[in-house]
């Protein structure tokens, strides 16, 4: 600032000083004219005043000598006026007859010449200017002679020199002042620009940061912001497309983009459950899309997975810090188990999470139940997990991947304990519209909790948009749909779409027998004749999965096309789930009875239309089923993504089989080559079954090929990798802002309810 000011102020002051010098001669000339004019008038006054006494003295009849003395004395008295320099008198013959001693030799009669009487001229004599006026002395109209009046003009020079000096000073001071004001204004607006540009370079929304101060900057800022955003997206898409998404790619991101930063995952369901059966401890993999997706990621990044220890032998295998290394056959990461009492599990997991939020977010027409006691448990358990995250993190800025609806409050709780953490929350289930979500008595608290995240992910843009709408409706937050960011109480939350997927190639596929063998083995195992066409459904036994609707479609097919009776069988594997909840018990009963009724109606001695296996199948068994089937039917009434659809596609390396897929799954947006159906429309679903069974091998192949290449390309490593790259970007930006001194640790501010 100082240097800039000096560089600007001094030259401007000098320039104006210079201008002043140019102006001075003009001013000099002007003032000289005024002074001469003044002296003309003054000389006239002097002459008029002297007229009468002088005439009297000149016409005095006394002797010449006396007259001379009188006039001389009179002239000397007149000279007491400090401006009068000399006086003289010439007779009509042009002879200088009287004069003061001061009259210069060069000034005499006839000076300054005819025609300039009464008008002064300026002469420079003896080094100083003199003003000389010759004026006639008249007696009754006849001329007695001329009086020479000489004024000293040296005062004019003195004044002129002073004026010149003050003018230069004035101009220089004016120049300095103007320059100073200009520099201050320039500096202020420069700072505004710099702040705006810095904000943009950091990649933050200008709309989020304090408004650019300079009004004129705002339109440019908006354009720049849009440009940076587009470039960011483009770069993201390009970077992403260039990577072959494998566990190694994830490891590279962790090593290079995240510099080996610490990673913690938090989910309710643990990836390995230890259970005691007949005196032996067995390890079970749960039926959970979330676990299926995250387990390969965790194997790649060797972090810590914090989860509820729900197995009855879980406590028997942990170390002193409640941790166990997994996978059991080749340990790659740690599970840190959090223990819950039966009451806590009932209130937090069965109650608030699964009787409240689950039906709230799935439009499956099951009413959510909200109990205050469940809410209390939910809050307390979230707090417990926040403490676990804090105690597990070795650094103050870990990357924490919070999973699903069991932990809506956790992000903000972690943020309060570890303000520098990068918190990525992924919501694995749909997010409903604001009206549907608004019935929750604690909707604001859930939203506030989630907005403690640095990044919040959903499977589809539709769910992101619903979330924006919900926040917009219920909280006083800044929602920027252009940059996908919400600002509420501290660090902004980016909301993005990350469609989850499966590992590619799937581990479970590696041990699979050829398709023909699988077909044969499965048919044998289920007592289905070898030529029977086979459909499969693999789900948790959950009312959102549309299992009853699926059975209704099978029934309708057999009704409408009896040729399939005895020739088509549908195996439904339904893993028991959340069976303490009444809705799930009712569903269990309904599913069993529907299967029984259809089998009674259309079963033949050798072929049951519905084969129901309400039990847990492991990955290898499920993949064998997929490979044995002619079609897979996913009829969810509402589903965030649905990984069964992607698994079926991944299992069919023979490029055969048809997929029927509910339009209400996230997967339907990625797999349009499936036969897309509305599960509520029984006719349409029956028709899709017919079409799938009749689909020529070529069509199966071309549809399957396209779906396989999509799942291969958009696999789970890409899902996780995109989130980690975004986490790296968020961390890098924060790091840069901290270095630039524009950001400290994110603020935690008081939150207000809308």
289 interacts with ligand G6P by CB under 6 A: yes
Give yes or no for residue 355 binding ligand G6P (CB under 6 A). no
Closer CB to ligand G6P, 206 or 500, in the complex: 500
State which residue, 405 or 717, has the beta carbon closest to ligand G6P. Answer: 405
Nearer to ligand G6P, 286 or 347 (CB): 286
Three-state DSSP state, 429: coil
**Considering only residues 138-197, where is the footprint of ligand G6P by CB under 6 A?**
none
Give yes or no for residue 429 binding ligand G6P (CB under 6 A).
yes
- The number of beta carbons lying within 10 Å of the beta carbon of residue 243 is 16
Q: Which residue of 153, 254, 290, 440 would you call a contact of ligand G6P, by CB under 6 A?
A: 290
Closer CB to ligand G6P, 17 or 289, in the complex: 289
Q: Determine the size of the site formed for ligand G6P (CB under 6 A).
A: 11
Using the rule CB under 6 A, give the single segment among 287-295, 370-378, 394-402, 614-622 that binds ligand G6P: 287-295
Q: Is 483 or 642 the residue whose CB approaches ligand G6P more closely?
A: 642
Residue 550 sits at φ, ψ, to 5 deg, of: -65, -45
* Binding region for ligand G6P (CB under 6 A) out of 62-70, 133-141, 283-291, 671-679: 283-291
Q: What number of other Cβ atoms are within 10 A of residue 112's Cβ?
A: 17
Q: What's the closest the beta carbon of residue 280 comes to ligand G6P, in angstroms?
A: 23
- Contact (Cβ atoms closer than 8 angstroms) between residue 562 and residue 584: no
* Phi, psi of 152, rounded to the nearest 5 degrees: -80, 125
State in angstroms the smallest separation of the CB of 705 from ligand G6P: 28
Distance CA 591, CA 82 (A): 129
Residue 454's φ and ψ, nearest 5 degrees, are -80, -40
Part of the chain binding ligand G6P (CB under 6 A), chosen from 16-24, 106-114, 282-290, 500-508: 282-290
First and final CA of the chain: distance in angstroms? 45
Q: Which residues, in sequence order, are bridge partners of residue 639?
A: 665
Q: Helix, strand or coil for residue 344? A: helix
Chain positions 722 to 751 lying near ligand G6P, rule: CB under 6 A, are none
Q: Which one of 173-181, 288-296, 387-395, 743-751 is the stretch in contact with ligand G6P (CB under 6 A)?
A: 288-296
When the beta carbons of 500 and 595 are compared against ligand G6P, the nearer one is 500
Cβ at position 289, least distance to ligand G6P in Å: 4
CA 483/CA 492 separation, integer angstroms: 11
Which residues, numbered 381-410, are part of the site for ligand G6P (CB under 6 A)? Answer: 404
Task: Specify the residue, 43 or 456, whose C-beta has the smaller distance to ligand G6P.
Answer: 456
Instruction: Give min distance, CB of 580 to ligand G6P, in A.
Output: 11
- Residue among 266 and 534 whose Cβ is closer to ligand G6P: 266
Q: Among 77, 74, 94, 81, which Cα is nearest to 43's?
A: 81
Q: How far is the CB of 188 from ligand G6P (least distance, A)?
A: 53
The burial of 160, by beta-carbon neighbours within 10 Å (0-12 exposed, 13-18 middle, 19 or more buried), is given as middle
Nearer to ligand G6P, 415 or 540 (CB): 540
What the block records as the tokens of 695 is: 């689909």
One DSSP character per residue, 433-479 reads: -HHHHTT-TTHHHHHHHHTT-SEEEESSHHHHHHHHHHHHHHS--EE
Instruction: Give the CB-side neighbour count of residue 147, counting CA atoms within 13 A.
Output: 28
Q: Which stretch binds ligand G6P (CB under 6 A): 160-168, 184-192, 286-294, 683-691?
A: 286-294
Q: What DSSP assignment string belongs to 105-168?
A: TT--TT-S-TT-TTS-EEEEETTEEEEEEEEEEEETTEEEEEEEEEEE-HHHHHHHHHHHHHHH
With residue 633 as reference, give the H or E element that holds it. Answer: strand 631-634
Q: Smallest gap, in angstroms, from Cβ of residue 255 to ligand G6P? A: 29
Question: Which of 135, 577, 635, 642 is in the footprint of ligand G6P by CB under 6 A?
Answer: 577
The H or E element containing residue 88 is strand 84-91
Of residues 503 through 522, those in contact with ligand G6P by CB under 6 A are none
CA distance linking residue 192 with residue 221, whole number of Å: 11
Task: Say if residue 605 is exposed, middle or buried (CB neighbours under 10 Å; 0-12, 13-18, 19+).
Answer: exposed
CB of 542 to ligand G6P, least distance (A): 8
In the complex, the smallest distance separating the C-beta of residue 300 from ligand G6P, rounded to whole angstroms, is 20
Give min distance, CB of 667 to ligand G6P, in A.
13
φ and ψ at 225, to 5 degrees?
Answer: -60, -45
Based on the number of CB atoms within 10 Å of its own CB, is 533 exposed (0-12), middle (13-18) or buried (19 or more)? middle
721 interacts with ligand G6P by CB under 6 A: no
DSSP one-letter string for 202-219: TT--TTTSSPPSSTTHHH
Q: How far is the CB of 653 from ligand G6P (least distance, A)?
A: 26
Min dist CB 428 to ligand G6P, Å, is: 4
Q: How many CA atoms lie within 13 A of 693 on its CB side?
A: 22
- Part in contact with ligand G6P (CB under 6 A); list of ranges 5-13, 93-101, 281-289, 658-666: 281-289
Q: Which residues on adjacent β-strands are paired with residue 539?
A: 574
Q: Which among 28-36, 285-293, 393-401, 680-688 is the span making contact with ligand G6P, rule CB under 6 A?
A: 285-293
CB-nearer residue toward ligand G6P: 269 or 337: 269
Q: How far is CA 426 from CA 179, 612, 734, in A?
A: 57, 33, 21
Shorter beta-carbon distance to ligand G6P: residue 349 or 488:
349
* Residue 269 near ligand G6P by CB under 6 A: yes
428, 523, 652, 703: which one binds ligand G6P (CB under 6 A): 428
Binding of ligand G6P by 578 (CB under 6 A): yes
Query: What residue is closest to ligand G6P based on CB?
Result: 288
Nearer to ligand G6P, 228 or 290 (CB): 290
Q: Which is nearer to ligand G6P, 151 or 428 (CB)?
A: 428
> What is the binding site for ligand G6P (CB under 6 A)?
269, 286, 288-290, 404, 428-429, 540, 577-578
């Amino acid at each position: 600032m100082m240097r800039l000011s000096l560089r600007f102020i001094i030259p401007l002051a000098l320039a104006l000083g210079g201008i002043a010098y140019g102006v001075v001669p003009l001013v000099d000339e002007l003032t000289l004219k005024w002074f001469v004019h003044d002296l003309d008038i003054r000389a006239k006054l002097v002459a008029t005043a002297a007229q009468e006494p002088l005439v009297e003295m000149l016409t005095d009849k006394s002797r010449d000598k006396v007259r001379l003395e009188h006039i001389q004395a009179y002239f000397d008295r007149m000279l007491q006026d400090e401006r009068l320099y000399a006086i003289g008198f010439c007779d009509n013959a042009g002879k200088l007859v009287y004069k003061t001693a001061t009259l210069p030799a060069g000034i005499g009669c006839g000076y300054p010449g005819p025609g300039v009487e009464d008008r002064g001229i300026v002469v420079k004599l003896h080094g100083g200017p003199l003003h000389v006026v010759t004026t006639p002395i008249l007696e009754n109209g006849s001329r007695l002679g001329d009086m020479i009046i000489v004024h000293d003009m040296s005062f004019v020079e003195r004044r002129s020199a002073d004026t010149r000096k003050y003018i230069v000073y004035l101009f220089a001071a004016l120049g300095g002042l103007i320059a100073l004001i200009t520099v201050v204004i320039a500096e202020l607006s420069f700072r505004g620009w710099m702040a705006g540009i810095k904000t943009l370079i950091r990649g933050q929304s200008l709309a989020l940061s304090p408004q650019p101060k300079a009004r004129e900057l705002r339109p440019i800022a908006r354009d720049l912001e849009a440009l940076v955003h587009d470039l960011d997206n483009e770069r993201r898409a390009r970077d992403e497309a260039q990577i072959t998404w494998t566990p190694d790619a994830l490891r590279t991101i962790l090593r290079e983009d995240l510099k080996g930063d610490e990673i913690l995952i938090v989910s309710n369901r643990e990836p390995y459950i230890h259970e005691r059966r007949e005196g032996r401890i067995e390890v079970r993999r749960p039926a959970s899309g979330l676990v299926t997706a995250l387990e390969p990621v965790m194997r790649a990044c060797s972090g810590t997975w914090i989860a509820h220890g729900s197995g009855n032998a879980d406590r028997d295998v942990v170390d002193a810090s409640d941790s166990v290394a997994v996978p059991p056959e080749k340990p790659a990461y740690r599970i840190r188990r959090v223990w819950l009492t039966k009451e806590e599990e009932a209130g937090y997991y069965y109650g608030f999470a699964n009787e409240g939020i689950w039906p709230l977010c799935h439009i499956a027409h099951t009413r959510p139940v909200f109990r205050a006691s469940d809410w209390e448990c939910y809050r307390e358990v979230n707090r417990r997990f926040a403490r676990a995250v804090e105690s597990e993190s070795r650094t103050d800025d870990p990357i924490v991947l919070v999973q699903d609806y069991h932990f809506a409050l956790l992000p903000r709780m972690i943020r309060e304990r570890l303000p520098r953490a990068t918190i990525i929350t992924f919501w694995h289930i749909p997010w409903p519209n604001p009206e549907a979500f608004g019935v929750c008595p604690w909707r604001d608290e859930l939203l506030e909790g989630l907005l403690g995240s640095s990044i919040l992910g959903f499977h589809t843009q539709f769910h992101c948009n619903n979330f924006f709408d919900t926040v917009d409706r219920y909280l006083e937050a800044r929602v920027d749909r252009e940059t996908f960011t919400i600002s509420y109480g501290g660090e902004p939350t980016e909301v993005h779409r990350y469609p989850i997927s499966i590992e590619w190639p799937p581990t479970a596929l590696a041990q699979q027998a050829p398709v023909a063998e699988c077909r044969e083995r499965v048919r044998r195992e289920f007592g289905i004749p070898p030529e029977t066409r086979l459909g499969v459904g693999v789900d948790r036994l959950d009312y959102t999965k549309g299992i009853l609707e699926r059975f209704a479609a099978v029934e309708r097919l057999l009704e409408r096309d009896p040729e399939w009776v005895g020739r088509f069988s549908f195996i439904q594997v339904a893993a028991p789930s959340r069976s303490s909840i009444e809705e799930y018990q009712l569903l269990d009963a309904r599913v069993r009875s529907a299967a029984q009724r259809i089998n009674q109606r259309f079963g033949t001695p050798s072929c049951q239309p519905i084969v129901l296996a309400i039990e847990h199948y492991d990955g290898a068994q499920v993949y064998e089923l997929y490979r044995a089937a002619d079609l897979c039917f996913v009829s969810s009434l509402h589903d965030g993504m649905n990984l069964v659809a992607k698994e079926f596609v991944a299992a069919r390396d023979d490029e055969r089989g048809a997929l029927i897929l509910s339009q209400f799954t996230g997967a339907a947006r990625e797999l349009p080559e499936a036969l897309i159906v509305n599960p509520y429309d029984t006719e349409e679903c029956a028709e899709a079954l017919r079409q799938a069974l009749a689909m020529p091998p070529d069509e199966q192949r071309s549809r399957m090929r396209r779906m396989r290449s999509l799942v291969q390309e958009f696999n789970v490593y890409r899902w996780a990798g995109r989130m980690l790259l975004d986490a790296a970007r968020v961390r890098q930006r924060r790091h840069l802002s901290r270095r630039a001194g524009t950001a400290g640790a994110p603020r935690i501010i008081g939150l207000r309810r809308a």
